[in-house]
Structure 1
Amino acid sequence: MEDLFASVKSDLKNNDPAAAAAKIKTYLENNDIPLNIAITGECDAGKSSFLKAFRGIKDKDGGADVVDTTSVYPHPKYPNVTFSDLPGIGSTKFPADEYLKLVGFEKFDFFIIISADRFRENDVKLAKEIQKMKKNFYFVRTKIDNNIKAAQRKKDFSEERTLTQMREDCVQGLKEQGIESPQVFLVSSFHPHLYDFSLLQETFDRELPELKKHVLLLPVQNISLEINNGKKEAFLTKLKFFTLLSAAAGAVPVAAVSAAVDLSLMAAFVR
């Protein structure tokens, strides 16, 4: 890092901000840490729709989930973030007891287990195995908008009470199956601004290793003000780097050069 600072400072002293900017860009590219997120669950749980929402892509077709293949999708703007739509749990080719080995679990930093109804036996088995291997995982119950519509037929309907009851039922059911401290998120892939979608994003932000925190927050769709604040925090983790480089530019008696470097640094993190 110190060598980079010295090299950039030298470029600026030689009135070559383009070379300095190129070195900064190369450093950022080489230090982007790949983030692999696996989306899994039983067939027809809504994995593909959830994945589209998570990537900020509108779901126009609502097609069925693929069963026996893994579909890999880079983020459309940030290729160092990869989403994998894994095969359904417990299918003939992917039995639950061999599932993690067959899908290559070591490639993934997170598992998101998707269910459109109650969490089933295969979901629980997978969670237990991931838990043994000390991998991070989350339970996500999708299609909550359908559940809310059904509950609205009741005379004493309360959306808040309905969501609370659904969440508590899921958590309690998982605990009864031996899952320690289960984290359950209720989402609608067609309405990502509602329910727990923002909470899911915030949970990733809080629990990701520090080095990967900014990699996740910057590319994923900003759904709420809370996530925008998180994005700002991720930006501030690089403040020391920015400050030193900007100071190096400021040491050069050419105001335009310092301003250009400040702008290029800001642009690198807001794009």
Structure 2
Amino acid sequence: MADQQDDLRALLNDSGEPTLERAIAKAREEVDRLDNVTLNIAVTGETGVGKSSFVNAIRGLQDTDEGAAPTGVTETTMEPTMYPHPTMPNVNLWDLPGIGTIHFKAQTYMKDVKYQNYDFFIIASAGRFRENDMMLANEIKKKKKNFYFVHSKTDIDVANEERKGVTEEETLQKIRNNCLENLRTLGPPPVFLISSHYLERFDFQELVINLERELPDEKRDVLVMSLPVYSKQSLDKKYNTFKKAAWAVAITSGAIAAAPVPGLSLACDVAMVVSFLTKCYYSFGLDDRSLEKMSERVNKPILQMQLEYLLLPHDLCS
């Protein structure tokens, strides 16, 4: 009984509420938010700039994986196409047709793709930002939606320049200067140099930091939970986000009960706990398939930390 009371006090402390009744109400709101808050991310830009590869990368998939957005040297997206996240079904990536194509004219693009459905836009480019990109950014700005410029395929640019004797640092600075020059009429907004095949390189972490800063709290948590593990920092952030949600699942499921308390189940809601732990399991990439892919992308210490998370005690039903 003493151990149960200690656990209860710990949960109350995590909730930040003075009474169990208020903690229960807050926990139920948190659990509902975890399951029902949606995040819709639109990825747009001209044909051939790597939009589909970016959509796949955010979902933790390679271009050849089952369920991946199709990629190719020609336009493969003929209409706005939604790709649900494989482990977070309330997160949707939208692969939008290239702006300025025969079916999606730049002048009516925002209306045609139903801009109001998306939380923010990623504008991708693989070279210079062109007139259509600028036009699109201005239209998004008019609609009071956030947008972020992404220079994709940066790894290819770096490799090509290294063959000419140009260092990676010099190439990245050249790309940044070029982007800033082309976007100067827009502020200029920040530009993120990324590689969809190597998220741990270049500016992907900075992009995520900007997204987190500008999203509402509930959508920020959903974003963090959905992103693939690509660095120690991303792993720690994901762990802390799930840890923050664990107290709510524990209270709401009745995993630790102080009887008699109206509204708090005496029995553990096993389905709720299993659902939460399953979400943790796949979000951390602890299934065999994800671990194998991760071992090819990051160094062994990061992979070892993921395995250690798998071994952490997680018996919410005590």
Query: Normalized against structure 2, the TM-score is what?
Result: 0.67
Q: Residue 30 and residue 77 in structure 1: after superposition, are their counterparts in 2 closer, same or farther (change >3 A)?
A: closer
Q: Establish whether residue 123 from structure 1 lines up as the match of residue 127 from structure 2.
A: no
Q: Which residue of 2 aligns with 1:14?
A: none
Do structure 1's residue 54 and structure 2's residue 58 form an aligned pair? yes
Aligned residue pairs total 248
**Could you tell me how far 1:181 is from its partner in structure 2?**
3.8
Distance 1:87 1:248 in 2: 47
Between the aligned partners of 2:94 and 2:211, the Cα distance in structure 1 is 17
Query: Among 141, 165, 173, which residue is 2:151 paired with?
Result: 141
Distance 1:52 1:76, change over 3 A: same
Instruction: Name the SS for the 2:200 alignment partner.
Output: coil
State the one-letter code of the partner of 2:242: F
Equivalent residue, structure 2, for 1:97: 107
Q: Work out the CA distance in 2 between the residues paired with 1:90 and 1:235.
A: 41
Match of 1:173 among 182, 185, 191: 182
Match of residue 34 from structure 1: 38
Structure 2 counterparts to residues 181-200 of structure 1, below 5 A = 181-200=188-207
Structure 1 residues 29 and 205: alpha-carbon distance in aligned structure 2, compared to 1, 3 A threshold = closer
Q: Are 1:222 and 2:229 an aligned pair?
A: yes
The question of 1:164 aligning with 2:173 is answered yes
Q: 1:205, CA displacement in angstroms?
A: 2.0
- What's the % identity of the aligned pairs? 38
Question: For 1:72 and 1:246, how far apart are their aligned partners in 2?
Answer: 32
**Structure 2 counterpart of 1:32, one-letter code:** N
Sort the Cα spacing of 1:58 and 1:268 in 2 relative to 1 into closer, same or farther, 3 A: closer
- Change beyond 3 A, Cα 1:205–1:232: farther
User: Residues 252 and 168 of structure 1: is their aligned pair in 2 closer, same or farther, counting only changes over 3 Å?
Assistant: farther
In structure 2, C-alpha distance between the alignment counterparts of 1:194 and 1:127, rounded to whole Å: 26
Q: Is 2:211 the partner of 1:204?
A: yes
* CA pair 67-82 structure 1, distance change in 2 beyond 3 A: closer
Alignment check: 8 A CA contact 1:235 1:269 kept: no
Look up the match of 1:13. Answer: none
Instruction: Give the conservation status (yes or no) of the 8 Å contact 1:36–1:108.
Output: yes
Counterpart Cα distance in 2 of 1:243 and 1:172: 52
The alpha-carbon distance between structure 1 residues 246 and 92, as it changes in their structure 2 partners (threshold 3 A), is closer
Secondary structure (helix, strand or coil) at the match of 2:170 reads: helix
Match of 1:197, as an amino acid?
F
| Structure 2 SS opposite 1:112 | strand
1:270 counterpart letter in structure 2: C
Paired with 2:187 and 2:141, the residues of 1 have a C-alpha distance of 9
| Conserved? CA contact 1:213–1:234, under 8 Å | no
Report the Cα distance in structure 1 between the residues aligned to 2:209 and 2:30, rounded to whole angstroms: 29
Q: Distance in 2 between matches of 1:30 and 1:200?
A: 23
The equivalent position to 1:66 in structure 2, one of 76, 80, 86, is 76
Contact 2:31 2:249 in 1 (8 A): no
Secondary structure of 2:82's counterpart equals strand
- What is the distance in 1 between the residues matched to 2:231 and 2:31? 30
SS across alignment from 2:121:
strand
Query: CA, structure 1 residues 264+88, in 2 after alignment: closer, same or farther (shift >3 Å)?
Result: closer
5+ unaligned residues in a row in structure 1: which ranges? 10-22
Equivalent residues in 2 for 1:246-265 (5 A)? 249-252=256-259
Instruction: Report the alpha carbon displacement of residue 200 of structure 1 after superposing the two structures with TM.
Output: 2.0
2: CA distance between counterparts of 1:268 and 1:148? 39
d(CA) in 1 for partners of 2:275, 2:225 = 15
TM-score (norm 1): 0.78
* Aligned mates of 1:214, 1:99 — CA distance in 2: 30
- Tell me by how many angstroms 1:216 deviates: 1.0
Which residue identity is paired with 1:224?
S
Partner SS state of residue 249, structure 1? coil
Q: Report if aligned partners of 1:32, 1:215 keep a CA contact under 8 Å in 2.
A: no
